Amino acid sequence: MKKTWIFLGLTILLFGCSIHPNTPQSAVSSALDAIASKDTWAFNAVTDSKLEDYILSDDNFLPDTRYMSDGLKQFYETLVPYIQSFDYTIDSVDNDSSNTRATVVITITNYDIATCLKDIQDEVIASFEAMGSTNIEDYYGLTISYFNDNIAQYFNLTHTVSLMCFQENQEWTVHIEDPSAFVYNLFAHNH
């Protein structure tokens, strides 16, 4: 009986650890869920791109900020939770006749970061000028403050995106030409 439980446990473990998607939908879901959970390994496993080439580390999920000022780096760090906060639905899947390529249409709802930043810009500039400061770090600090005060009302950007998937060796992969643009533009700045 004990051997049966051990065998069953190992079988479940091996099956559960397999992340190779067997449908275009599961590949897309895995890629999007990996972004939400900051899991570059899972993202890389289901896409044809390597996300670590575009970000500083798995921990912060930011572009390479080593050469940025402290204020600009803090600004990017402020954006990350909002980039990762999104809802999505898979609207349709269109397989080609060979069943090796598919187009997956998804609808994403996320924070409209670009519009929020545009809307607060005049207030930030006015406050910056009122401070009498010429230090760019002060400008970034004000932007972060106004952004944090206003972003909650901007979870309203909905757009539809088509993703190409292909199957090789019975595993589906999502084609991501530029992971940096995919993560940051798609979820934060795309209209």
On the question of pLDDT at 159 being above 90, the answer is: no
| Tokens found for residue 170 | 């019975």
C-alpha distance from residue 102 to each of 5, 34, 42, 132, 171 (Å): 40, 20, 20, 56, 12
Query: Whole-angstrom Cα distance, residue 96 to residue 103?
Result: 8
> What local confidence, expressed as pLDDT, does residue 13 receive?
38
> Which pLDDT value is given to residue 187?
57
Task: Categorise residue 61: left if φ over 0, alpha if ψ from -120 to 50, beta otherwise.
Answer: left
If pLDDT is split at 50, 70 and 90, which confidence band does 170 have? confident
pLDDT tens, residue by residue, 57-114: 555 555 667 778 888 888 888 887 887 788 899 999 999 998 899 999 999 888 888 8
Please state which of the ranges 5-14, 41-50, 157-166 shows the lowest mean pLDDT: 5-14
Rounded Cα–Cα distance for residues 11 and 17 (Å)? 10
Most confident of 16-30, 97-111, 124-138: 124-138
Q: Which of 39-48, 59-68, 155-164 has the lowest mean pLDDT?
A: 59-68
Q: Which residue has the higher pLDDT, 62 or 171?
A: 171
pLDDT at 180: 64
What average pLDDT is seen over the chain? Answer: 80
For the chain, give every domain's residue range. Answer: 2-65+77-113+155-189
The CATH number fitting domain 2-65+77-113+155-189, selected from 3.10.450.50, 3.40.50.2300, 1.10.150.80, 3.40.50.300: 3.10.450.50
